[in-house]
Structure 1
Amino acid sequence: MKAFVRPVLFFLAITLQSGFSSAADVDIRVLLEGAIKDLSSGKERGESENFQQLLSHLPKVPDGRYVVEGDLLLTERELEDRLLDLAPGTQSSEDNVELKVNKHNGIRDIYETIAERTLTYAIRKNSFGSEQQYAEMIALMSEATGNWEAICPSCRIDFVHKQSMDLNPNHRDVNFIVELRDAGGFFIANAFFPHDTGSNRVLTVDPSFYTSEFAKRGILEHELGHVLGYAHEQIQGIPGCRPELGTWMALTDYDNKSIMHYFCGGGGSLDMKISDTDKVGHRLIYQ
Structure 2
Amino acid sequence: MSRPLARTAAAVAGTTLAVSTAFVATAAAVPTSTDGAPSFQEFRASTFKDFDTQYIVNGDEPAATDGVLRQFYDTMVAQPDTDVDGLIVNRVNGQDDKWSASQALNLTYCVSTKFGADYSRVVSAMTAGVGQWEAATTKVNFTHVTTQDGSCTTRNNAIVFSVEPTRTTQYIARAFFPSSPKSSRNVLVNAASLYNAGSWTPSNIMAHELGHTLGFRHEHTRPEAGTCFEDNNWRALTPYDSASIMHYPQCNGTSDDLSMTDQDRAGVRALYGS
TM-score by length of 1: 0.78
| Structure 2 Cα separation of the partners of residues 121 and 28 of structure 1 | 47
**Equivalent residue for 1:165, pick from 129, 148, 159:** 148
C-alpha change, 1:135 and 1:101, in structure 2 (3 Å) is same
Structure 1 contact 171–198 (Cα < 8 Å) conserved: no
Name the SS for the 1:195 alignment partner: coil
**Equivalent residue for 1:204, pick from 178, 185, 188:** 188
Q: Which runs of 5+ in 2 are unaligned?
A: 1-13
**Equivalent residue for 1:52, pick from 41, 44, 47:** 41
Deviation at 1:157, TM superposition (A): 0.9
Q: Which runs of 5+ in 1 are unaligned?
A: 1-7, 33-49
Structure 2 contact 91–233 (Cα < 8 Å) conserved: yes
Match of 2:56 in 1: 67
Which stretch shows the higher mean deviation, 215-224 or 197-206? 197-206
| Structure 2 Cα separation of the partners of residues 238 and 15 of structure 1 | 24
Q: Which amino acid aligns with 2:108?
A: T
Identity value in percent: 30
Match of 1:190 in 2: 174
**Equivalent residue for 1:249, pick from 218, 235, 255:** 235
2:69 maps to 1:79: yes
Q: Cα RMSD over matched residues?
A: 2.9
CA distances 1:84-133 after superposition (whole Å, capped 9, x unpaired): 556869968x5x7131101112221011332454100000012x131xx2
Match of 2:10 in 1: none
| Structure 1 Cα separation of the partners of residues 227 and 106 of structure 2 | 34
Deviation at 1:23, TM superposition (A): 3.9
Q: Which amino acid aligns with 1:157?
A: V
C-alpha change, 1:137 and 1:106, in structure 2 (3 Å) is same
2:226 maps to 1:220: no
| Structure 2 Cα separation of the partners of residues 88 and 270 of structure 1 | 32
Structure 2 contact 104–141 (Cα < 8 Å) conserved: no
Name the SS for the 2:151 alignment partner: coil
| Structure 1 Cα separation of the partners of residues 29 and 54 of structure 2 | 21
Match of 1:99 in 2: 87
Structure 2 contact 242–253 (Cα < 8 Å) conserved: yes
| Structure 2 Cα separation of the partners of residues 201 and 28 of structure 1 | 38
**Equivalent residue for 1:112, pick from 76, 100, 111:** 100
Structure 1 contact 189–223 (Cα < 8 Å) conserved: yes
C-alpha change, 1:165 and 1:222, in structure 2 (3 Å) is same
**Equivalent residue for 2:116, pick from 115, 129, 136:** 129
Which of 1 and 2 has greater Rg?
1
C-alpha change, 1:54 and 1:236, in structure 2 (3 Å) is same
| Structure 2 Cα separation of the partners of residues 172 and 70 of structure 1 | 27
| Structure 2 Cα separation of the partners of residues 84 and 123 of structure 1 | 35
| Structure 2 Cα separation of the partners of residues 246 and 62 of structure 1 | 28
Q: Which amino acid aligns with 1:15?
A: T
Structure 1 contact 65–73 (Cα < 8 Å) conserved: yes
Q: How many residues in Structure 1 have an aligned counterpart in Structure 2?
A: 254
| Structure 1 Cα separation of the partners of residues 204 and 76 of structure 2 | 30
Match of 1:41 in 2: none
Identify which of structures 1 and 2 has the higher relative contact order when contacts are C-alpha pairs closer than 8 Å and 6+ apart.
Answer: 1
| Structure 2 Cα separation of the partners of residues 164 and 233 of structure 1 | 35
Q: Which amino acid aligns with 2:87?
A: L
| Structure 2 Cα separation of the partners of residues 261 and 88 of structure 1 | 23
2:264 maps to 1:282: no
Structure 1 contact 13–245 (Cα < 8 Å) conserved: no
